[in-house]
Structure 1
Amino acid sequence: MSSGKLIVLTGPSGVGKGTLVRSLLARHQNLYLSISATTRSPRGGEIDGQDYYFVSVPQFEEMITQENLLEWANYAGNYYGTPRQKVEEKIDQGITVLLEIELVGARKIRETFPTAIRIFILPPSVEELERRLRGRGTEAEEAIARRLERAKEELAASSEFNYTVVNDELEKALEALEELIVNSFLHE
């Protein structure tokens, strides 16, 4: 059996990574989404073990110590990371794994999985990104300002990735991702 692929999707907060990933998974049941661990509190409707593994700071720090994470970062005051075991199991089974992670984690994945396909999702503009972040209605003004400042730094790193996809119109962005992931990499 051939090894699976690791596909990393990165982009600034509010760019629509989650929406794109959910759409990909709905259309392609042969893809597996790695569930990240985080120390942040769940947002409305999020389910532990489905959206994230919600853990305490001491639990997360133990995962770091035990090297149970492929990558991890502290982002906007909370830890986020990718549990190692499930990802490695799926790849060994020949399954393509999607990671929806932040820039710091994607850079670490470049070191730990140099064969990973890394795709950066771009907003059509910084102004549109700000509109999307405010439209969530889930964060205080201070948190939005931090995320926008961070987004500007992240956008400058898009050239580090194998591919970029602009999420201006959802369907077009989704088709571009499908062309990269499904039509190219799944048939190699």
Structure 2
Amino acid sequence: MTLERIIANLFNLNDENWMRHANPVSVWTRYSVLPVLVLAFWSRTWIGWWCLVPGLLSILWMFFNPILFKKPKSTRNWASKAVLGERVFLNRDKVPIPDKHRIPLHGLLNFLASIGLVLAIGSTIYYSAWGAVSGVALAYLGKSWFLDRMVWLYEDMKEDNETYRSWEY
């Protein structure tokens, strides 16, 4: 079982929920999680423990977002194909992916996003605006680049797989 499959199970991503998560609104609104977390905990000196409320709401949003939206009217857009590519990548232990998609770039991009996350968190603790903004930007650069690679993977895989092709409408 791949790490991605474990994460998908944590988020309850079955067939129906994967398609709901492929709604572009779901994809784009998940980008709000990290900035809201940073702002929530940045405000701890102004609002005290109340900063936990928006922080917790942001974390809950991250978990429930993939299942809150309707199945998209069309999956012929970058955001939907990014999610479909993630699904293909998750399934690589059952349906092999081409060698050109097996390069360690995926891990490097997720590492880059993780470095950004750590920088954003550390900078929030020490009230470094530059560090917090840079961390969020680095995290989203890594994540967006990873998602772009998932679009490429999906585009390559849908031609040879009837199930994958059926996800695009």
More helix by share: 2
Larger radius of gyration: 2
More strand by share: 1
Which protein, 1 or 2, shows the higher relative CO under an 8 Å CA cutoff with sep ≥ 6? 1
- TM-score when scaled to structure 2? 0.29
